[in-house]
Amino acid sequence: MKTETEELKSTEQLREKWMKPEVITGSEILLRSLLLEGVECVFGYPGGAVLYIYDALYGFKDFHHLLTRHEQGAIHAADGYARASGKVGVCIATSGPGATNLVTGIATAYMDSVPLVVITGNVHQSLIGTDAFQEADITGITMPITKHSYLVRDVKDLPRIIHEAFHIANSGRKGPVLIDIPKDVSAATTLFEPAKVMNLRGYNPTVAPNRLQLDKVAAAIQEASQPVILAGGGVVYSGGHEELLQFAETTEIPVTTTLLGLGGFPSGNRLWMGMPGMHGTYTANNAIQQSDLLICIGARFDDRVTGKLDGFAPKAKIVHIDIDPAEIGKNVHTDIPVVGDVKTVLEQLNKLIKRADKADAWRDQIQQWKAEKPFKYKDSNDSLKPQWVIEMLNETTHGEAIVTTDVGQHQMWTAQYYKFNQPRSWITSGGLGTMGFGFPSAIGAQMAHPDRLVISINGDGGMQMCSQELAICAINKIPVKIVVINNQVLGMVRQWQELIYENRYSHIDLSGSPDFVKLAEAYGVKGLRATNKEDAQAVWREALETPGPVLVEFVVDKQENVYPMVTQGSTIDQMLMGDCE
């Protein structure tokens, strides 16, 4: 086993090898440049326009390439890798349909501020604009959903472009960057000279905040009697979770974390109120509505959080801390704007703040609400309740697993009943709400953390959108534990149709879905099923004890709804509490 010094020396020797000036192809330049950016894993699917790139990958062992079974699986896996690791996720696809199959994944990453470098092939430059075979204007198609995009015209520009792409993707408000490489560019040769200088005119994200604005925040805290902290995904992405904990414990201000902010503040902390919004806690929603100071940190006031905008936090002075100035004041009027990196802002704020002394009665009220109105559901000994299944997963893993979800009822139950204590342990599609995201994102998370337990929680609908990626789990022995919460229906759509559309159930029946156990076994993955509590505990124990991937299907009550629920057009304190009210 190599020592740390030996590993460092080996890495330095490899870097010297990769940086050696040589006349090589554009494809080889791409691979070397990825290595110099620290890439360890790439997810992809070959095709005609990237054959030179895949030819360069033949026998290549300096980073791992994972062949997915669909381009959408590749980009969701790269997304999961990025969210779990904090590094830039990378995927490769060919031109035309290969590139357009990435569009949903690019939009998913863009909405949730996830750093990706997306590499696509294109037809020979002489054919661009002629409707050539498998030609698509992917830079034009994805312009609204990328931070930036490049169409590479000259092989000599490749090192600079790749270096810039990684910088743009992983700085400021993070997001996806697309590099489109025509086939003649990937085949052309030139002297490789690594990019060393970064000079991007007009791109200079604000990291350090304005001190005068920080003084205003500190003063507002001292004046507030009912303050609330609303923390979002920006806390996790900036690595500011420890600073947030210090900020909250110094001021003793109660904290609510958005869907993407889960794990950014310890769920077991006495100050945590749970998630706010459409399916948030009674405590968090009422606290926001009655607050006189709302400190929003790294969140963008999404409609699922705010509910009816003109009735959101009506009594509160709003502080908004965000690295993206375009988000401040976009949805909610802001009284004290603070532009900057969340971690940096909180580091500086923590030197100025004191306990919010006027808020003692408020803290007591928060604890009373938490005790009186926790999440509730009617349990059953005759059928499996999905909430009970999530609670069992939480208890058996002590909340320490990396959990990914698809989108729907199971996503909300997981957000409600699984208790996250670490950042980057919760991976879900928030802004776009992409079905099919959950399972392949778990594969990416597992590649980022091969020694951690990764659980992919899916509905029976979303599982069928990327189920073909079971193949790569079996072939590569990727030990994701795949959970299917099977209620034989599009659950969240059914819930809306029941509560809002007067029980008009339109095209939601999934009873013709495959036998998920047999589907898993067809791909070479162990499959298990449970329909009651005793079986559920036994099969889950077996899954945890089994090396490699396992799919566990929990057949649950079809009629179960997610509560609380705030319907569209309502303020977030106007909650439907369900049968347990």
Q: Which residues pair with 338 in a beta bridge?
A: 321
Q: How many angstroms separate the Cα of 18 from the Cα of each of 11, 28, 59, 405, 560?
A: 10, 10, 16, 38, 56
Q: At what angle do helices 211-223 and 342-349 cross, to 10 degrees?
A: 60
Given the residues 111, 275, 463, 492, the one annotated as active site:
492
Query: Residue 194's Cα: distance from chain center in Å?
Result: 31
Residue 183 designated active-site: yes
Where do we find the tokens 């990684």? Answer: 166
Distance CA 326, CA 318 (A): 16
- E strand or H helix at 78: helix 71-85
- The first and second tokens of residue 249, run together, are 């414990």
Contact between 485 and 529 (Cβ < 8 Å)? no
Distance CA 413, CA 391 (A): 9
Q: 525, 529, 531, 517: which is closest to 546 by C-alpha?
A: 525
DSSP assignment of 384-442 equals: B-HHHHHHHHHHHHTT-SEEEE-SSHHHHHHHHHS---STT-EE---SS--TT-HHHHH
Greatest distance between any 2 Cα atoms in the chain:
72
Q: Which residues contact 539 (CB under 8 A, 6 or more apart)?
A: 528, 529, 530, 552
Q: How many angstroms separate the Cα of 347 from the Cα of each of 248, 271, 294, 342, 353?
A: 12, 20, 19, 8, 11
Residue 327 designated active-site: no
Given the residues 133, 354, 368, 477, the one annotated as active site:
133
Distance CA 322, CA 317 (A): 16
Where do we find the tokens 């905008």? Answer: 309
Given the residues 60, 63, 134, 521, the one annotated as active site:
134
Q: 182, 52, 209, 194: which is closest to 125 by C-alpha?
A: 182
Given the residues 87, 147, 174, 183, the one annotated as active site:
183
Distance CA 129, CA 542 (A): 56
The SS3 of residue 190 is strand
Instruction: Annotate 12-28 with b (16+ C-beta within 10 A) or e (fewer).
Output: eeeeeebeeeeebbbbb
Distance CA 534, CA 542 (A): 13
What are the residue numbers of the active site? 71, 133-134, 183, 492
